[in-house]
Structures are given as C-alpha cells and as structure tokens.
Amino acid sequence: MTDLLQLVIAGLATGGIYALAAIGFTLLWQTSQTINFAQGEFVMVPAFFSLAAMKLGLPFLPALLVAVLVSMLLLGVAFRYVVVGPLLHRGVLPLVISTIALSIILKETVKDFYSAEAQVFPTLLPDRVVTLLPGVAVSLAQIGVLAVSLVTIGGLQWFLGGTRTGRQMQATAQNPGVARILGVPVERMILYTFVINAGLAAMASILISPIYLAKFSNGETLGLVAFVAAIVGGFNQVRGAIAGGLLIGVLDNLAASYVSTAYRQAIPLILLVLVILFRPQGLLGRREERAV
Amino acid sequence: MIRRIFAGAGLAAVAFAALPAAAQDVVVPAILELSGPGAVSGTMFKNGAAMAVDEINAAGGILGKKIKLEFVDTASDPGKARAAVQRALDDKPIAILGPVYSGSVSATLKLTAEAEVPQIIGGEAAPLTAQGSKYIFRTSFGQNVSMPKIANYIRDGAKAKTVAVVFVNNDFGKGGRDAIMKELAARDIKVVADVSTEAGQADFAADVIKVKGANADVVFVYLNEEESARFLREAKKQGLNKPLIGETTLLGQKVIELAGDSANGVKGHVGLTIDAPIPAIQAFGKKYEAKFGGKPDHNGVKGYIAPYMIKAAAEKAGKLDAKAIAAALHGMTITPDKVPGILIEATWDDTGEIDRISFLGEVRDGKQIITETLPKLKK
C-alpha cells in the first residue's frame, strides 16, 4: 500500500511533465491544425540551449531563462513562420511530414554538437526526502516537479480563460472565420499558441532533463507519450491533455512495478487503442468542439 | 628488348613507389557502439584503441607494417553489428575489434569463428566464451569470473544476508543476473527483489520504489553506464539508504560524472580502472585525458590494450595472419615489461577468457578509490 502511494506520487510528477508537452500538442492542433511530430524534440532541445548558455559562462538560473526565451523564439516564432506558415493551408499531411523532418533535423543537430552521449543536467529542486505518512517517504524533488507543472498549467488556464488575449485565442480555436469578423487578430493568436507551446516544452525540458539526463534521443519517448496523452485525454481540450498526461505518468509507474518494465511502454498504447475504440473523443474531450 | 624490360620494370617501380603509404597499411576494422545506448562505452573503446594504434605506428607498427583502424558504428544494434562484421570479413582482416555490447558480440561471434579471424571484444556476458569459438578474446573479465568475486564481497565485505538485484534486460544484464543469482545461492544469500529494467530506460522511479520496498541488506546494481547514473540519481532523490554494490560499470568514471553526488558511497568490484594503484594505468589515464578531454573508464582501457594484444600475438607468431594471431593468443601471457601497452599482466586461456589482477573499490567525493587488489585467479 505504501509502495502504491509512492508510485502514484512519482507517477503524477512525471505525468505533470508529460501534461506540459501534451497541452502544447492540443494547442497547436486547435489553432492551426498542426500535429507536431517534433514535440518530443521540442522538449529535448531546450535543455541543450541551457547547457550551451552555461558553457558561455552564464549561471544555471539565467541559463534556464535564456533557454526558455531562445525556445520561444526558435521553436515558437521561427517554427510558426518557417515550417508551418508556408504549409498552413495545404492540409494536415504535408505539415505532419515537415514536422517529422524537423524532428530528425533537431535530433541530428544536437547529436553533432553534443555527441550521442548523455549530458549531466543540474536540477532546480533539492534531493531531499519527506515522510508524508509512516512508510511513505517521497522525494521533495518529485513534489516540486508536480507543483511546478501544476502552477504552470494553472497559469495557462487562467490566461486562456481570464484574460482578453486568452479569450481571443479561444475564439480563434473555436471558429477562426467568425473570430476574424469579430476583429480578433487571428494570425497573432495563432503565433501566441506557438510561443506558448515552446514555453511549455522548455518548462518540461527543464523538469525532465535532470531525471532523463540531457540526450539527443530523449524526444523519441517524450513525443510519443505526449501524443498519446493528448489523444487519450481528448485532443480538443487542454484539460484532456492534462488528465491524459497525469494518467499516463501514473499508469506507466504502476505498469513498471506490477506488470513488467519490458511491457511498460506498451501500456499507454493499449490505453490509446481502448480510448479510440470506446471513447474516440478522448476521456474529457467532446465531439466536434474546439477550445483551448 | 632488355632495355624495354628494364624500362618496364623501372616504370613499375616508379608506380609502386608512388602508391600512397596508406595502401600498404594493415586495416583492422573496429565495429563499435558509437551511437545509441552504448555510445558511452563504444566511444571510450574507440578512443583507447585509436591511442594505442597511434603509439604502435609511431614505434614502427606491427612487424614493420602500419595499422589503420576502420571504425564502423553499430548504433548499439546487434543486427547492424552483424552486418558490419560480415562486410568487414570480406576483406579478410588480421583481426576485428569490438563490439562492446554483449548482445552484438553474441550476434557476430559465429561469423568471426567461421572466417577464422580473431575478434577482440569488449563484451562481458558469461556465455560469450562458452560457445566454443576459438577466435573470441576478451579484454575484460567475463561475468563467470567477476560475479564470484562480487558474491564473495557481498558475503565477506558487506556481510549481507539479503540482496535486491537490479539488472538491465539485455544480454549483458541477463548474463550478469543469472551468474550472480547462482553465486549468491551458493553462498546462502537470499535475493529478496529481482528487478528487471530496460536498456535505454529513462525513468527509474518505479524501480527504486520497488527496491526500497524490498528492504534488502544491500542492492546489487548491474546496468549500463547511463542507466546506472539515472538509477543512482533516482536512488538518492528517493533516499534509498542501503549500500549500493556494483561491478566495474557502477563505479566507472562516466557513471560518476553523470551521477554526480549520487555516486558517492557506491562500492564493488572493479575489473579495470585507471585509478588502480599501478603507474602504467594511471599514466594511460592522464594521456587519454590530455587527448580527449575526459577521464576514460574501463572501456577506454579495454580499447587501449586490444591493439597491443594483436601486436604481441602477431610478433609471437612472426606473421600478420589472422589464424596465427588467434593461435598465438591462446595460452599467452603478455607482461608489461615486454609490451608496456598491455598495462597489467594478462593471460588468455584457450576459450579467450582473460585472467589478471582486479580490485575492490568505492566512490568517495566523486572519485573512485581502490581499497584492495585481488590476485590473478591462476598464477
């Protein structure tokens, strides 16, 4: 029982990081019908931006800030205009292919600069253990990761629902044509979602890299998990992506512990198939509705 | 007529002399893990081997011939390793270096045996030398040699009655797990958790929780480099406070570098290390660090001695011939006074198993400290 509780908490912590990446997936889909198959690499790359900034002499925290800003610029603005822009109105498939190409380019570039070996990535959070209940000792770092993810997600939810720009983004997602007639600067809203996606990916990168170690191939698993989390939760709902991320984090840990580590990666995929069969709109998704 | 013959011969001589020296080099293929999960091990092996070959060439080569290493990346994939070895064998090399991963060695050892080409490997899985190949040679202990030493240490050094075993589910890890299980059972030490993890696994939270729950006296961790580091970091994060014991890799330089503070306190058996109290090995470590900008681990040493094994055997055989080199290595003892590059005296038996001294060590303040030297098994 104590094991179960620890597994759930550890699962929620990694699930929180998955959720950050999954939200980005749904955001891009909602506003621009972009299925970003480079999302995993978007989570892998910012860690290397921070390492590069640290190599240039910056301390850890400013280096993280630089990584977030550079990510927003390159993985947000440049991605929007260079990769997505020219293909935006040519259907989903060309975009999918170009994001797959982008993922390969990002992976190989990182490999060229940083080799195929994993790199140490410092952690923001302390390696201390707190005892929640007798026998249930959890790491402060895990609680920290979960807290940072939830605060980021909470902030995003508030921004989308509580600010004028956020509501304009909602309108863009729901019906870009009508939004445009109502005076919403649709193009700018689309750009914002790309920037937000890059910011979320950078956050996920900062949180996951101390655990995974920074490595060029990290995006492979992360991209798949984020994609599955987004679909399981409901591709057209941010809260679906959150639920999907957390669920997969917990399920992954339980599967590793109670089923087998060899099959743990299959569990999210089985869940995906079940959701597609029995609840195609996702656990929290609604049919034919768009919202960010 | 005679003038014409002379002219022809002269032309031929000029043409021959004009051939680049490289064309006369002896090419030795090195099939290694330069990307994928084995990149750390493969790259260290590669750098070590390249250093040795540079030294050998600078000193006149082997039997007057220069050696050229031809590196091929297996991407840590046994299928690709097999294809690469197959291709390399077409050119009838005098020897092949690598692979380092046991799974890739396992997939290739029949090919080198059939082609009668010695294969100098980095693999440590016990079954590799038990398959009857006369052409496989280890550069480090097989698990059949190292695991009895670890089990003795767990019984006598750590005085443990129960053990949690964490292993990686590949040929290397399964071989080690099976070997340690046998040795622990023979010493009446109970295994209370048997935790299988995957190669390339990124998140060890669930595994550490399982190990914590088992409450064993000690934890034996048998994973590859990056996974070892991730496990150690997670263990520290979750406050796993049992002694962590490993075999060579867990106390290796790369793991210490990646795991940082989390590696402190780790203990175990070390087959090969640049921190050994042996001047030649320490000097190698410094040379390597100066050249590649990082300390080598045991794979660097393995790679470094491999070309020297070929050199010593070829010189003993008196010819650069694959079959003769393999025959010469069987039962051969290479000593550092005759071949300094071998670093520590080593003997190969007729299965290709290596015997030499080894060490017990622990990690203190981010450094591997050798606490005891264990003698060669057979004098």
Tell me which amino acid residue B276 is: A
For residues A103 and A108, give the distance between their C-alpha atoms in angstroms, rounded to a whole number.
9
**For residue B366, how many other CB atoms are within 10 A of its CB?**
12
How high is the mean pLDDT of chain B?
90
How high is the mean pLDDT of chain A?
88
What ipTM describes this predicted complex?
Answer: 0.86
Report pLDDT digits (tens) over B25-41.
899 999 999 988 888 89
Contacts of A210 in chain B (CB under 8 A): 233
CATH superfamily, with its number, for domain B24-141+278-356: Response regulator (3.40.50.2300)
Tell me which amino acid residue A170 is: Q
Phi, psi for residue B270 in degrees, rounded to 5: -125, 115
Q: Taking 50 as the threshold, does the pLDDT of residue B1 lie above it? A: no
Kindly report the nearest CA distance between residue B184 and chain A, in angstroms: 24
Residue of B nearest to A1 (CA): B213
Report pLDDT digits (tens) over A219-236.
998 999 899 998 888 877
The verdict on a CB contact (< 8 Å) between B205 and A117 is no
Of residues A32 and B235, more confidence is placed in B235
Q: From residue B196, how far is each of A256, A260, B56 by CA, in Å?
A: 9, 8, 42
**For residue A128, how many other CB atoms are within 10 A of its CB?**
13
Contacts of A141 in chain B (CB under 8 A): 237
Nearest CB to A7 within list B34, B206, B257: B206
Q: Taking 80 as the threshold, does the pLDDT of residue A135 lie above it? A: no
> Which of B268-297 are b and which e, b meaning 16 or more Cβ less than 10 Å from the residue's Cβ?
bbbbbbbbbebeebeebbeebeeebebbbb
For range B134-143, the mean pLDDT: 94
Per DSSP, the three-state class of A20 is: helix
- The reply to whether A131 touches chain B by the CB within 8 Å rule is no
Q: Taking 60 as the threshold, does the pLDDT of residue B20 lie above it? A: no
Nearest CB to B205 within list A127, A253, A262: A253
Q: Taking 50 as the threshold, does the pLDDT of residue A277 lie above it? A: yes
Q: From residue A32, how far is each of A92, A169, A179, A256, A292 by CA, in Å?
A: 9, 11, 14, 36, 12
Contacts of A266 in chain B (CB under 8 A): none
The verdict on a CB contact (< 8 Å) between A213 and B43 is no
Residue of A nearest to B259 (CA): A120
Tell me which amino acid residue B122 is: G
pLDDT band at B171 (very low <50, low <70, confident <90, very high): confident
Kindly report the nearest CA distance between residue A219 and chain B, in angstroms: 11
Q: From residue B355, how far is each of A17, A219, B333 by CA, in Å?
A: 48, 42, 9
Q: Taking 50 as the threshold, does the pLDDT of residue B366 lie above it? A: yes
- pTM as predicted: 0.82
Of residues B350 and B6, more confidence is placed in B350
pLDDT band at B18 (very low <50, low <70, confident <90, very high): very low
Residue of B nearest to A209 (CA): B202
Domain residue extents for chain A? 2-278
Which of B76, B166, B196, B209 to substitute to test the interface with A, most A CBs within 10 Å?
A: B209
Report pLDDT digits (tens) over B88-125.
999 999 999 999 999 999 999 999 999 999 999 999 88
Burial of B21 (0-12, 13-18, 19+ CB in 10 A): exposed
- Which pairing describes strands B218-222 and B190-197: parallel, antiparallel, or unpaired? unpaired
Q: Taking 50 as the threshold, does the pLDDT of residue A287 lie above it? A: yes
Per DSSP, the three-state class of B358 is: strand
Q: Is B331 left (phi over 0), alpha (psi -120 to 50) or beta?
A: left
B140, B357 Cβ separation under 8 angstroms: no
Domain A2-278 CATH assignment equals 1.20.1070: no
B141, B128 Cβ separation under 8 angstroms: no
Per DSSP, the three-state class of A186 is: helix
pLDDT given at position B61: 95
For range B69-76, the mean pLDDT: 96
Chain B 36-55, residues with CB within 8 Å of chain A CB atoms: 36, 39-40, 43
Of residues A116 and A77, more confidence is placed in A77
Place of tokens 């994060």: B237
Task: Outline which parts of chain B fall under CATH 3.40.50.2300.
Answer: 24-141+278-356, 144-270
Which of A18, A224, A261 to substitute to test the interface with B, most B CBs within 10 Å?
A: A261
Nearest CB to B43 within list A117, A129, A141: A117
CATH of domain B144-270: 3.40.50.2300
Q: Taking 80 as the threshold, does the pLDDT of residue A286 lie above it? A: no
Contacts of A142 in chain B (CB under 8 A): 205, 237
